Copies of this chain bind each other. A is one copy, B any other.
Amino acid sequence: MAEALAQARTAADLGEVPVGAVLVDGASGEVLVRAHNLVERDADPTAHAEILAIRQAAARLGVPRLEQAELYVTLEPCAMCAAAISFARIKRLIFGAYDPKGGGVDHGARFFEQPTCHHRPEVIGGLQEQECGALLQDFFKARR
């Protein structure tokens, strides 16, 4: 999560919403990819940290499924990212801050609980919750 937090700080420096993600090989513990939000810079509404990490790792491995992967992300994934995590068959999801306003795991769509979800990762929420959330709060406070 420390590496995901570093990614989130890089996003903040670029003026992007500070969310960072790291994909780790669940077997070896090796970091596969690091990513952060790039919605504004890339003019891409899908360029959330999780989507970028998944796309890069899948492209590198040459398959659209990452069955051994664990995803660390500083914020509860939205419905778009939760569904992408499921499609990518990610084994375990570990996130930091909960997101009552936009989350799709423990809020709103609760994607993994739907009958339309065909792969559910193991989910651990609230890891370094305060530090992950504080980054977002500081970012939005500074923009007001």
Residues of B within 8 A of A62 (CB): 43
**Is the beta-carbon distance between A46 and B55 smaller than 8 angstroms?**
yes
Task: Identify A114's interface contact among B47, B108, B115, B118, CB under 8 A.
Answer: B108
- Contact partner of A104 (CB less than 8 A), chosen from B51, B63, B83, is B83
Q: A108-B116, A109-B116 are in contact. Are A64 and B45 (CB under 8 A)?
A: yes
List the B side residues contacting A1 at CB < 8 Å: none
User: How does the 8 Å CB contact mask read for A99-136 relative to B, with 1 for contact and 0 for none?
Assistant: 00111100111110011111000000000000000000
Is chain A's binding surface mostly helix, strand, loop or mixed? loop
Residues of B within 8 A of A47 (CB): 64
Which among B46, B61, B108, B114 is the interface contact of A46 at CB below 8 angstroms? B46
A63–B43 Cα distance when bound, in Å, is 5
Kindly state whether residue A80 has any CB partner on chain B within 8 Å.
yes
- Which residues on A are within 8 Å of B, measured CB to CB? 39-40, 42-47, 51, 54-55, 58-59, 61-66, 78-84, 87-88, 101-104, 107-111, 114-118
| CB-based closest 4 A-B pairs | A108-B116, A80-B83, A109-B109, A108-B114
